[in-house]
Structure 1
């Protein structure tokens, strides 16, 4: 018996792109919507027409370890026991998804992807069912709205001191777009004595990646994971759930401080370039760590910290620092102030 189904196609709204704003929030919902288009050569009696939204996270490595988990599995029944006319039929669909699901993501060891899968099941068992699949891209914009609508990214002020030596104040963005060419840092230094004069400030962006082959107990609760969602897990003996953990320091950038009697109390502004790390430079043979967006998910996590090291003038050169490290680490720390500040990085597509 000839099949009357000519084509089945999924037409998601906004070209299948879903943008989430702000930090992950389970109480916030987003809409995935569109149309299911069915083209028939003649009328067709159908038993069921449905569409599913699936989100899957996979992890694998060269040691043949593999894990796969469903992050999302929703289904909408569009028609039951109905007759579709010949020609083109469009059926609307929409899904509500929680705002804490991780964005679409690809790394060397894993990926997160989302797909829409539609099926048209004829009433007759002799007829072949129609099926269509379409990938969608879920992105996270960690700012509360689009970047162009903000005069400047949100910042946080950090204040601290080395007692009787130095007071300092840092005004640093906490959410950074990787596509931007610079990071604006405002720094105020208030020496309380001659020993408190800072000679150099070094900025190190540290990117930490962690891959798991199974979720933690906290992940089960946070992402509402059930055992049925674990669809694959191949693990070597005597391995922990956190198999891969790596930290990558992005090339540090140093800024020398020059004091002036009239201007040293004024804010110090410095641009830290990011663009050179987000893409591979074919003219530079040195392999650089590729910047990735911050993400938290059951099988993979990427985090960022900004390490700020302030070196006092009393510590004159690198060789002197090495000598102090060998003699007494605590003595060396008297000449340094080291801060670790949490950052969030995201891509704009």
Structure 2
């Protein structure tokens, strides 16, 4: 039996499986009867929920296929459909239980009832009384998350053998959907977060050993996702940023994430107004992202190092202070922080603060 890509799902005997598939893939016919060398072959396409499968039977004697070929194909098709139906039903039931459990934890539970929920989590292979992380994810390729994204994340978690609770979530009716997840706080989950951040903006709470604290963890994960959105908006390659873990962000990121966005925007505009030129701003951003390295800045911007020095001199003239001043430098870093993070990822200058290397 082949899947829709031609990989052998199951087989028995020594028939020429690759030659059979070559014949099957060359046509869209539901059934084939053909000869390959000394082998007599019959095939049938079977459409299931997860795609098309092909059942093939082969014999070196044509009379065997004439006598029982049709019966074997019919029986195999029925068995395949029955097994798939059972698996699909079990999967749907697990999904409903999964969503109900994470929704209940998001709504909040009393500390006195935690032991009941730990036993339910154990059914999904979560280690009992071990710390968990709340996670919020937003797809990079679409404005809103969908069931297809859920399936993608679940598939990745299964391949990594990672326990996972997951559901679609909207903060309000007009907001795009995100994916809410709960994972054990472990090295395996960190690897999973790093991997899925190639396709999703990813924010994670700090680890928590208390299930009654999950609503607070969700708020932390939302804050972390908001930080990821800000950094991604200023980055040419947001898939390189990695996940944002709220317990690992630096002080600057933490401070900026707890300020009113409108007031912060006004302060940033006021701080950067003296620069005037976008050229100076881009040069300064790259200079700071490159660790104030003139040669690295020049290479990134395809400029001569003297041109970089000249522009940095103009920046210092505009702000009225040298960049060696810790006060002027800290103000500029805070004002340009998301842009510096994005440029830092492009330059490959180490991992993003608060994230994991993908």
Q: TM-score, normalised by structure 1?
A: 0.24
Normalized per residue, the structure richer in strand is 1
Q: TM-score, normalised by structure 2?
A: 0.24
Higher relative contact order (CA 8 A, sep 6+): 1
